[in-house]
Structure formats: structure tokens, C-alpha cells
Structure 1
């Protein structure tokens, strides 16, 4: 903290102590606390260097009339200052700690009812409890009981903060950390016992009590077990094992995931302790939805060495898909003779789906439909696990990865009403349509299945399913009721599967023709999102073909190019931008195969230059510059000579792009400049390597002259003074690159560039004059002299800072708080006038 800032702090403390009223900006106190925390963490003693803070706390300790927000701030500040032993002792000497953290004092004044005070009390203790003196103060003051009560507080913020503090306290006093101090170990053993008893008693909700308390206790237990050493972990688990078992048997669905967090916090597949027994109990639950969530939580912890529980989790997650799609994912048919759990699962699903005339079964079906959201959520959980399941070892996975992929495909077919793949002796008979409708009425399952289909493309041995996958995806694209998101995901999945498929010949010609007709229809869809996804899809197809051969193209370029050209006229700028980038993909893919630039592509270049000059939307103009970046990068990396139309276009793109009103267009233009620099200097190194053998010159005059003639220096110097910070920073970095290359060459260049008389040229001349460099006659200046005189390194440091770094300073914050002093005094007289304080 500098002196100017430090001189403002006493005034702020006096304002807070005297007014006792809330500040108009209720976040300013939190910002002030954050700043003081940064100062303290930097090693500065707050009580020693800023005695005004001690005065503020002493004043507030005897004041119960101030606004709760200011009192809460004072509690947190008191804890922050007591975080060091010196600060703790200084606060004890003025009796501030006892006064401030006395729960009874707050209760007597009824301020304890305000969550702001309770949260301040907890956060203050959290900041303080970093050394033994503070921990002794906490225990001796009897704060454990009120903190345990706050752990079940109705305020979510208070209960969460109490959880964090309880976990911090318990983890700070673990026997492994304090075993050398038997006094401390004995002193805190009571805290561990007290907390263990609290958890044991509060875990199982009493009759008529909500499970919210159990939820908070489980969160606390998971927090502690996740970081506890073995002795503390075993002590806690042994103490609460019976309560956890009772909670599992009670079958509270909303506690399934918190219970799994507790079990998996320190679960080890190599041990057969309490957690292993509890996990087995979780997998014996009769509620399949809860079982699915438990299996999901287990697999995401990655304990695959536990083959028994892993096999159970895999079967649980496959069972809903097995029954819904009727694919034999659980071995042959529905044989569950080997496992009692499987019998339980089969009974559950057969009761839901089996045809029967019994009224109670009709009621069960109706009840299941009422829980449609939970059922849909269960199916989605199963789907999200399919990519991981497909990679399971054969001794764990009861089916082939191909069967999993086909089950997802069947699920997608349901959304089109195609259930022909299911058998006539289906579990769905009698209620088939009703149950299928339960799934397809939610697009959530369809979208989830499409997302997983993309991930499943990496599964082993599944590329032989590309025909079935293409059929269902193309049907989605052709389906008139498919929404834009479904279409986008269908396009993405089709691209992904085509890219991993080694042979596209398995896709029938009839299917290709259907895709072409669908794409043509979608390119004219009234919804711009659909047109945009379609154009993006067309642009990605050439990238797939280039990896294989042109003969394997799913759609020929002669069919897709007219659609892209038409999209350049689309009224939506997003679509126009996508069309431009798609044309870039087509061009670069053909050039990477060693072919020359086609005549149509030359016409495209001309059209895009018009868009860069005329289009009113920044999206399309950005895409044009990115098009030329892709073009130039491709030719720079191939043996083909750069076409003259491309060389001629670069100068136009640089001049127009650097003057664009959109800052992203200007940044993309500088990215093109960077490619030019790399290409020019690379070519120079090649010539130098050849010229060195023949006595060639290694100076940079030739490449620098080329860059000057191309307008690169003009673009960079203009951009250096740009009002958009990202543009100026990028230009500064590129100029530093050029300067460093000149210096590393060892021979200073004599290349000059011309500065315009007005605008940025005038400003550059002013900077040169300030450095004592008047430049040459005729408006020419030396390139190196300019680069050496602009203070580029200092500029880069300044430009790298955020644009509001001055306004976000500690000094600015204190000034803003002080500025409220006058308004607080007169606000009562001007209640109709709103007071607004902008802290930063």
C-alpha cells in the first residue's frame, strides 16, 4: 500500500465508526476487506502499520446500533487481524475478541437473528483460526456448540460456511499434526468426540423432520473425509457407520448423491472397511433411479480395480437401455440367474413394462408416468456413461461396444416413431406406445443420445455401424419437426463418424441422395440457426474427404459450392460468416492435395473483398479476414507457388482490415500480418543459408523492404496507436518481434518507410521528436530508428494491464467510500434523490 493510499484509510475507518449506516454500494466493504487481505497476505502487519483499524474494531466492539452489514464487516476484519499471533495478542489486549465473538452478546441484542451477523461471525473465525492461540481461544470460549447449531441453519449460506469452518477446525487438529503436543491433543479430542456425536445424531432425520439437515451433515462429513488422515477418518467412520447404514436403508432419494460423496471420499478398492460395506449396501437399493445415480457416482471416481463393484455399476447403467431399446446389453436375452441383484432389477422393470390386466399394475404404470422427469433423468445418466462403458474390459462389460452404439441408435429411432427394431414379444407390449411416448416427449434424451453418439465414435470396433448411424442421423436432418439444436447435433455426429470411418462406400447411394436433398432443403430453412448449422456442415465435409480421397466424398463439391455461394447473400450475418469459412475449408482442402487454385475460387476472392468493404455486420468481415489467413497459411506450408490473385489481395485486406470499425477484424488483420512476417523471415533464412555457401549477404534489407512495400509497417504503426487495447497490444508485440530480429542480425538496416502527414503519422513524428530523432527528408524515417524510439517494451507492459487498472486501485476504492461521507449526512434531507456510488 503506497503512502497516498495509507493516508486515506484513517478517514474511511472514522466514517465507518461514526455513521453506523450502510454504504450505498453494499459491495464496497467486501472489496475493502479483499484489499486488506491482500496487504496482510503480503506480510504487512495490519495492527502495527494501521492502528486506525484497531481503533475501528475497538469502537465497533461496544457498538450494537450500527447497521448489520457494517458490524458483519467488522467481525470479518477482526478475524483477519487476528490471523497472526501478533494481531491476535493486540486484539486481546483491548478485549475486542471476547466482545466481538460472544454469541450471547449478539443474542441479547437480537442481532443474531440477522444472517448477516451470523455469516460475519463464521467468516471472522475462519480468517482467525490459523495458529494455536486462535484455536485455543475457539475451544475455551465454547464456540463448538453454536457452530454446530449453525451447521443446520436455515440459511444456505450460513450452513455452508459453518460446514467449511467445522471441517477446517477438525482437519487442523488431526492427531498426525499435533501428536507431539499431548496437551493440545488432549484438549481437542473432546472437539472430535463432540463433532462425531453431532454427526451421528443428526444424520438420520427424526420423524416429521426434513432431510435438509441430513444433507448438510453429509456435506460436512464428505468435506472432512476428503482430507482427513487415516486415524481421524477411521475414527469418524466407525462412529457414524451405523447411522449411515440406517440412512441408506431409509431410501431417501435426495440423499443418494451426498451419501455416495461420503462413501467415495476416501474409498479404496484394496480395503474392506466401512466404506466398502456401505457401497455394497448402496447397490442393494430397490429404487432403480437411485441405483443409477449411485453407479454413476461410483464410475466417475475411477475405481476400476474394484472389479466386483465396477461390474455391478456397469450392469445397473446398462439395464435401463437394455429394457427400453430391447438390445441384449446384459448378455443373452434377460437371463439374471447368476446374480440376485439382477433379479431385483428385472423384477422392477418387468413390473413397470410388462403387460397385465391387473389394476394395480395399471396404477404402477400411471405412477411411473407421473415421475417422467426422474425417469428421463435416469435415462440421460445412463446415456452419458455409455462412452466410458464402451471402453470397459471384456470381463466387466457384458456386451460388445457395438451393441451399446446400436442401442443408442435404436433410442434415436424412437423419436421418429420407428420401433420396428424391437421384438414382437417385447416388454413394451400393451403399454409400448405409452412408455415410448414417456421417453420421446422429452427432447432432452434425444439431444443427450446425439452427444453421446459423437463420443462413442472413438469406441473400439464400432466403425462397422456407420450405415445404421448415417441412416438415423440423415433421418433427423430430413425430419421436418427436428428443432435447430437436434439438427446441429446430428450434423456434428455425422461429421464425427465419417471422419473415423475408413470406408464411406458402406453408405448407400440412395442415402447420399437423401442427404443431398435434405441439405438443400435445410439451406433454405426459414430458421437462421438451421441454415447456419447446414452451411457449417457443408464446410466441414471437404476436411473429411482430404484425409481420405476425393472419390469418397459424401457430397460432391459441385453440389455444395452453389449452396455456399447462395449463402453469401443470406440476410443473417452468422450464416454469411459460416459460408465464408466453409469456402475457406473447401479451398484449403483442395490446395493441400496439391491442386492449383480453381477459377471459381478466384471469383470467390473477389466477392469476399467486396464483403470486407461493404458488409455492415462485423461477423462476416471477420470471417473474410480469417478466410485469407487460412488461404495464406495453406500456401505458406505447401510447395505450390502463391497465386498472384492472393498476393494482390493481401494488400487490400491489410488496408481495409486495419481501418475496420470492429476491433476483432483489426486483430485478425494483425494475425494475417504475423503470417506475412513469419513467411518473409523464413524465406530470408532459406536464402541466407544458400547465400552463405556462396558468400551471400545476411542483412535484413530485402525482407524489410518487402514488408514496407506490402504496407505491413504502415498497418503496424497505425494499429500501435489504436484506441482498442487488444489491437494496440498485438501490434506492439509484432513490432517488438521485428525490432529483435533486426538487433539479432548484428547489422542495422538502412530501410526507410514513409509516414503520412496527418493522423497516426503525425503522432509518430511527435514521438520521434521527443526522442530527438527528426527523421529523414521527404517524410521518410528509418525503420530501426522508429522501432527503437517508440518505447515498445514499456508500451507492452502498459497495454498488458487491464483497461480499468487505475479505477480498480485500492486508492480509488477508499476515495469512493470517503465520497459517501457527505451524502450520508444529507441523505435524510434528500430521500427522493438516489445516491449511487461506483466503487470500481
Structure 2
């Protein structure tokens, strides 16, 4: 804690302790707690140096008129300060902890009725119980009984916090027997340990406390009160994977019998909690113990859950590492069953005997849900989403049957005809359903990674082209279809289908701008992936698409114009390739001039940003533009009103700087490859003059003083890099350039040079005057770093006491 804060802290504590002055806004209190959390550390001596904190806690917690928010703050602060053993001993010696967390005192106070106070009490204990002495204090003082009551508090927030505290207690590391040593100021030291029959150190308070918690769990599970049962199931799920082995065994033994009874009673409202408990148990060594009954319970759940509950549960089972293959196989069958039944409905495939026929207990329930439109969509989306999730994790699934099933679902949704009339309600429910289409496309994209996928590529591309050609396709579905095509082309190492470009031309003229935009994005990515393939280049050049791209530069929608710019920027290299037939006057020089006009005239920022990105792309892919055009682009970009355009301008400037200096054996980029033929410093002055001719220095200095911080940060970083390269001997006369006059006036008077010398000042001179290192440091700070400091926070709290509550509009942030 710095000196200024230490001086204000006693005043702030006295204000908080005074009910007439305490702030009504508790956001400042939470901010103070965050600050104290940063200050709390072993050997921090925070309490010794700031006794006002103890006075504050004692005063507030014994007050009968304090605001609930202030009491909650004091309780949390007490727990936070006691979270270290040093702080715990200080508070314990002064009897602060006993009075602060005294259960009898709070139970008699009307303030306890306020949920804010109860929440602060629990959170204070949760913060404190980080070491053994705090845990023993909790058990010895009987506070565990209060926590167990609060687990079912009427306030859900208090109940949840109490549950987290109980889970922390159960998950706490092994305690050892301790005894008090008066010679050590009342601190406790390890004693001669007594061992139980298992060789563990005995600690009666710890053992009794754990037994009390587990007994409470067991009673709650059979209480018949849904809230109590639900909370205890949540506690078991939170605790099983992290608690000590002997605690885990005790907790599971008290849970398993009650769980079997509850499952038999068909309490569907607690299904989610049952699933979480079983999945947590399956991730522990209990799963390897056949006597634990976990696997039997999981199989029972699969057999009794509704399909919409069984599928997510089955997905969790398949992802378990130590689960038997037989159970995983059955869980996978549950996930795929809706897909199988849709496929059977088309008469294109018979029901597989393995593992679906083993799921007769679930088949009738799934068929019933598929027969109704709402539930049909819900259960099928779950099946497809789970398939996508499992395949994204590279888990083993029967891709040779799943891929045809997914493509069949896509055909059904599109209303394609089958060998027999699609008269079943299942098929009617799916026609035109975009939600199912999107889930199926997600699954199909992930299924492309399986080795079996190559066999189905022709069928997959066929159905995807049907989607691209469908006149009433949803725009988001079409976008996903484009993504799936790219994924399958990449994994199957295939060229785009011959029928793709005619369909793409149609989509580029679609009345919906979203589809035009998605088509352009797809084309840009497609060209990026296949621009080195001669066959693709020839097909693209003769397809008529380049002419369409030019017309889209004047599209009424700015997103489309931006995407057209990016597409043309990517595809222009194909048109000029040797041996590739040209289609119209599409040359880079013509495009570059059009792009400069767009940068100067387009009123929407998206197109202007796209222009800057294209010029950056060209410079990094051996498609340089003329210096005249680059100079215009840099000048226009640096004057733009949009900060992203200005940042892109600086990115372009950085590439030009690196490319120019690299020719002389210099670079501002630490990873640049410098040709060995150039000597260090050779032709540096000439390179600097080229950069000056491009007006790059004007762009950098203008950016340095820009009002948008990202722009100034980027410019400052580039100037710092240049400063390391340029020496005083490399003079670049900047006198007379408009952008430097302000810099000369504002900064160069700091130089001890005469007016005549300033007239011929060089770039190195300007950079040496500017305190770039300090500017970079300041630019790296948050804009509210002063107002958001602990000192400012305490000043705000003190200032708030000087004005009336209705005028108190202090922003503690």
C-alpha cells in the first residue's frame, strides 16, 4: 500500500463505520474488496500496519444501525483478512473472528433477515477457509450447522454460495492433528500424531465435521423436499471429483442408495442433477470399482430418460475416458437413434441391427417425438449437435453410416423426392426447417475429417450444390453450406465441382444482400485455397465471375462492396497469370485506381477498410502498386475519420518500411530476412528518401498525435523501431513539410539549438526530441488508470460524505 492510500484509509474506515456517512452505493465497497484482495498475502503485515481495519470490522459487526451492505462488506473483509494464517492469528487474538461470525449473536439480530447480510457471512467464511486453522475454527464453533441451514436458504444466491462453501470443505486437503503452544503466542504447532486404522492422522473436529456434512446430504436426498434434494445433489456433483479418497467413498455411499430410490420414483425435475452426479462420479476412481454401482445407474438413466434428456447424457458418457466400451456403444446408439429413424422413414436404408435394435426401450419414445413437429425438430437437432460435438473431438463414431444419415436429413429438409412418397409425418415435419439444416451442416463439416469421408464426397457435394441452387434457402443456411464445401474440399484434397461457378454466379446476383455477401466471402476463401492450381485459375477466368465482381463494387449495400473489394484483391493475381485466358480489362493497375477512388469517396467505412486490406495483401504477395498510388493511399488513409482505416494505413506503412529498409540490410521487423549481399547501413539514406517521398513519415507523426489510442500506439511503436535504425549521420531534411511544423513548434524548443539549425532538422533529430518511450508507456495504460486507482476510489468515498444522497452521483469506476 502506497503512502497516499495509507493516509486516507483511516478516514475511509471511519466513514464506513458511521451509519450517517456510509455510502449507499455498494459498488465502491466491492471495489475496495478487490483492492484488499490484491494486498492480502502471507507476511503482508496488512493488519499490523492498518489497525483501523480491525476497528472497522468490530464497529460495524456489533452495530445495530449499520446498513446491510456495510455489514456484508465487513464480514467479507474479515474473512479475506483471515485467509492467511498471519491475519487469522491477529484477528483471533483480538476476538474479532468470534464476535464477527458468532452464530448465536446473528440469529438473534433482525439484520440476519436481510439476504445481503447472510450472503456476506457465508462469503466471509468462504474466503477465510484457506488453511487448516480456519477450517478447525469453523468446526469447533459449530458454524457448519449454520452453513448447512443456509444451503436451502430462500435466497438462491445465499444457497448457492453456501453450497460452494460446503463443496470447498469436502474438497479441503487432509488435516493433521494440532495442539496449542502457549509459548508461541497461542499459535498451534504439529503434535505427536495419532493414526487411525488406515494410517491417516486423526483430527476429531475434521472427521466429525465431515460426517455431519455427509449425514446432512443423505437426509436431504430422502427428505422428499425437492429443493433440499436438488441442493444436495449439486453439492455431491461439485465435490466428488476433488475430495480426499476416504471422503469420496463416504459421500458416494450416502448418495448411491438414495439416488437409486429417487430414480425409481421418477423425479424428472431432478434429472439434470442426477446426470451431473453420475458424470462426476464416472470421472473418479469409483468408476473402476464394480461395487460402486455407477455404471449400473448410468445404464438405468439411459433407459429411463426422455430422449431430449438421454441424448445429452449419452454425449457425456461417450466422452468419458474410463467408461467401458459396451456402455459407450449403447450411449452412441442413443445419440444416433433419431438420425437412424429418419433414414428408415425414407425407405433408403434399413434399421441397423447394431447398436440401435438394442434400444427398443427408447425407440418408441423417439418415434413419438419425431411424429410431432416441435419435438421432432428438438430431438433431431440434439442428435445432430451431439454428433458434431463428438466428431469435433475426434472421437470414434461410425462415420460410414452417420454421413449418409446426415445427408439424408439434408435431403429431407430440402423436400427432395425419394423412392417412395414421403408421406410420413417425420419427413413432413422436416421440410424447410432451417434449424435442422444448420445443425446437419455443422455435423457434416466435422465429419469430413474421418477417413471414410472420401467415399461420400460425390454425394456430399451433390447435396450441397442443391442447397446453393435452392431459391428459398435461408441466408444463414447458405453461409454454412459454403463453409462445409470449403471444409470437404480441404480434407478431401479435391478441386471445386464443375457445377459450382454457374451456381455461384447466380448467388452473386441474389436479391438478398446477405447471400451476395456470403458468396463473395466464399469466393475469396476458395481462391485463396486454390490460386496455385492452374485448372482452377482457368475455370475461374472463363466463368464470367470476374465481370460480376466489378459490378458489385457499386452495390448499394456497403458490406457487399467491401466483400467485392476483398474478392477482387484476392483474385486479380489469377487473371494476369501466364497461360490463363483473360476475361475483360481486369488489371491490377485499373483496380488500384478504382480502389483509391473508393477510399476517397465511399461514405461507408467497410469499403474503405477493405481497400486498405487489399493494398496490404498486394504488398505481401508480390503484387506491388506504383509509388504514386501508394502515396495517395497512405495520404487518404491517414486522413480518414475511421480509426480502423488509420490502423490499416499504419500496417501498410510498416510493410513499406520493412521492405525498403530490408534492401539496405536494415529492418524494423525483428523476424525480417535480410539478404546477405547487402552490407549494414548501405544505401540507408536513399531508402529514407524513398520513404519520405511516399510521405510515410507524415503518416507516422500524424498517427502519433491521433486522438484514437490504437492509432497512436501503432504509430509510436513504428517510430521507436525507426529510431533504432536511423543514426544522426543519416539526415533527412524535413523542413517545410506541414506535418512537422507543429512538432517543431511543440517539441524542438526543448533542443538547445538556434532557429537556423532547426530549419534543417532531420528525422533523427525529431525522433530524438520526442519522448517516444514515455509516450508508449502512457499509451499502454488504460484511459481510466488515474480515476480507477485505489487512491481515487477512497477520495470518491470521502467526497460523497460532503454532499446529499440525492446529489451523490460519484462514479467509483
Distance 1:773 1:494, change over 3 A: farther
Shift of 1:309: 2.6
Q: Which residue in the other structure is 1:192 paired with?
A: 210
Distance 1:333 1:344, change over 3 A: closer
Partners of 1:22 and 1:344 lie apart in 2 by 68
Shift of 1:42: 8.0
Any idea what SS the aligned residue of 2:353 has? coil
> Residue by residue, what CA displacement relative to the aligned partner does 1:250-280 show, whole Å, maximum 9, x if unpaired?
4433335323432234257755452444434
Structure 2: 5+ residue runs without aligned partners? 179-189, 195-200, 666-672
> Residue by residue, what CA displacement relative to the aligned partner does 1:425-472 show, whole Å, maximum 9, x if unpaired?
xxxx8xx54223444575322211112222222221313433322333
Is the 1:314–1:389 Cα contact (8 Å) retained in structure 2? no
Partners of 1:687 and 1:104 lie apart in 2 by 77
Q: Which residue in the other structure is 1:639 paired with?
A: none
Partners of 2:538 and 2:335 lie apart in 1 by 38
Q: Which residue in the other structure is 2:711 paired with?
A: 727
Is the 2:385–2:443 Cα contact (8 Å) retained in structure 1? no
Partners of 1:452 and 1:793 lie apart in 2 by 51
Q: Which residue in the other structure is 1:491 paired with?
A: 482
Q: Which residue in the other structure is 2:339 paired with?
A: 321
Q: Which residue in the other structure is 1:435 paired with?
A: 426
Q: Which residue in the other structure is 2:809 paired with?
A: 836
Q: Which residue in the other structure is 2:670 paired with?
A: none
Partners of 1:38 and 1:451 lie apart in 2 by 44
**1:379 is the counterpart of 2:364:** no
Shift of 1:156: 2.8
Counterpart mapping for 1:35-184 below 5 A: 35-41=35-41, 44-174=44-174, 181-182=193-194
- Choose the corresponding residue for 2:564, options 574, 579, 583: 579
Is the 2:520–2:567 Cα contact (8 Å) retained in structure 1? yes
RMSD of the alignment, in Å? 3.4
Partners of 1:9 and 1:205 lie apart in 2 by 50
Distance 1:504 1:752, change over 3 A: closer
Shift of 1:79: 1.1
Is the 2:555–2:561 Cα contact (8 Å) retained in structure 1? yes
Partners of 1:543 and 1:329 lie apart in 2 by 41
Partners of 1:215 and 1:57 lie apart in 2 by 35
Shift of 1:33: 0.9
Is the 2:218–2:254 Cα contact (8 Å) retained in structure 1? yes
Q: Which residue in the other structure is 2:363 paired with?
A: 349
Is the 1:288–1:345 Cα contact (8 Å) retained in structure 2? no
Is the 2:576–2:587 Cα contact (8 Å) retained in structure 1? no
Q: Which residue in the other structure is 1:570 paired with?
A: 555
Shift of 1:39: 1.6
Structure having greater relative contact order (Cα 8 Å, sep ≥ 6): 1
Partners of 2:451 and 2:810 lie apart in 1 by 61
Is the 2:553–2:565 Cα contact (8 Å) retained in structure 1? yes
Counterpart mapping for 1:361-372 below 5 A: 371=375
Partners of 2:600 and 2:761 lie apart in 1 by 30
Shift of 1:607: 0.9
Counterpart mapping for 1:474-623 below 5 A: 474-504=465-495, 507=497, 511-512=499-500, 515-516=503-504, 518-522=506-510, 525=511, 527-551=512-536, 556=541, 558-588=543-573, 599-623=586-610
> Residue by residue, what CA displacement relative to the aligned partner does 1:660-716 show, whole Å, maximum 9, x if unpaired?
111111111111111112212322239973255xxx964633322322222222221
Counterpart mapping for 1:766-805 below 5 A: 766-772=746-752, 777=757, 779-805=759-785
Distance 1:530 1:513, change over 3 A: closer
Distance 1:697 1:221, change over 3 A: closer
Is the 2:565–2:610 Cα contact (8 Å) retained in structure 1? yes
Shift of 1:386: 5.5
Partners of 1:221 and 1:365 lie apart in 2 by 33
Structure 1: 5+ residue runs without aligned partners? 354-363, 636-641, 828-832
Partners of 1:184 and 1:779 lie apart in 2 by 86
Partners of 1:198 and 1:441 lie apart in 2 by 53
Partners of 2:748 and 2:222 lie apart in 1 by 78
Shift of 1:774: 5.7
Partners of 1:311 and 1:822 lie apart in 2 by 71
Partners of 1:776 and 1:689 lie apart in 2 by 41
> Residue by residue, what CA displacement relative to the aligned partner does 1:701-756 show, whole Å, maximum 9, x if unpaired?
3322322222222221221222211111111111222222347xxxx532214155
Distance 1:812 1:541, change over 3 A: same
Q: Which residue in the other structure is 2:258 paired with?
A: 243
Q: Which residue in the other structure is 1:279 paired with?
A: 298
Distance 1:94 1:437, change over 3 A: farther
**1:258 is the counterpart of 2:276:** yes
**1:711 is the counterpart of 2:688:** no
How many residues of Structure 1 are paired with residues of Structure 2 in the alignment?
782
Partners of 2:611 and 2:7 lie apart in 1 by 54
Partners of 1:134 and 1:529 lie apart in 2 by 60
Distance 1:317 1:809, change over 3 A: same
> Residue by residue, what CA displacement relative to the aligned partner does 1:493-522 show, whole Å, maximum 9, x if unpaired?
2232233343447x4x5x447514531442
Distance 1:351 1:602, change over 3 A: same
Partners of 1:250 and 1:588 lie apart in 2 by 70
Q: Which residue in the other structure is 1:461 paired with?
A: 452
Partners of 1:614 and 1:439 lie apart in 2 by 48
Is the 2:236–2:277 Cα contact (8 Å) retained in structure 1? no
Any idea what SS the aligned residue of 2:241 has? helix
Partners of 1:672 and 1:6 lie apart in 2 by 49
Shift of 1:60: 0.7
Q: Which residue in the other structure is 1:358 paired with?
A: none
Partners of 1:386 and 1:325 lie apart in 2 by 20
Per mean C-alpha deviation after superposition, the further-off stretch among 248-257 and 22-31 is 248-257
Per mean C-alpha deviation after superposition, the further-off stretch among 533-542 and 173-182 is 173-182
Q: Which residue in the other structure is 2:234 paired with?
A: 219
> Residue by residue, what CA displacement relative to the aligned partner does 1:11-49 show, whole Å, maximum 9, x if unpaired?
221221113576343311101111111122385333212
Distance 1:352 1:79, change over 3 A: closer
Is the 1:175–1:232 Cα contact (8 Å) retained in structure 2? no
Shift of 1:592: 8.6
Per mean C-alpha deviation after superposition, the further-off stretch among 673-682 and 436-445 is 436-445
Any idea what SS the aligned residue of 1:418 has? coil
Distance 1:439 1:250, change over 3 A: farther
Shift of 1:124: 0.6
Partners of 2:348 and 2:535 lie apart in 1 by 42
Counterpart mapping for 1:327-346 below 5 A: 333-335=351-353, 342-343=356-357, 345-346=359-360
> Residue by residue, what CA displacement relative to the aligned partner does 1:199-222 show, whole Å, maximum 9, x if unpaired?
22223561xx33x44333232222
Partners of 2:395 and 2:135 lie apart in 1 by 49
Is the 2:524–2:571 Cα contact (8 Å) retained in structure 1? yes
> TM-score normalized by structure 1?
0.85
> TM-score normalized by structure 2?
0.88
Is the 1:147–1:166 Cα contact (8 Å) retained in structure 2? yes
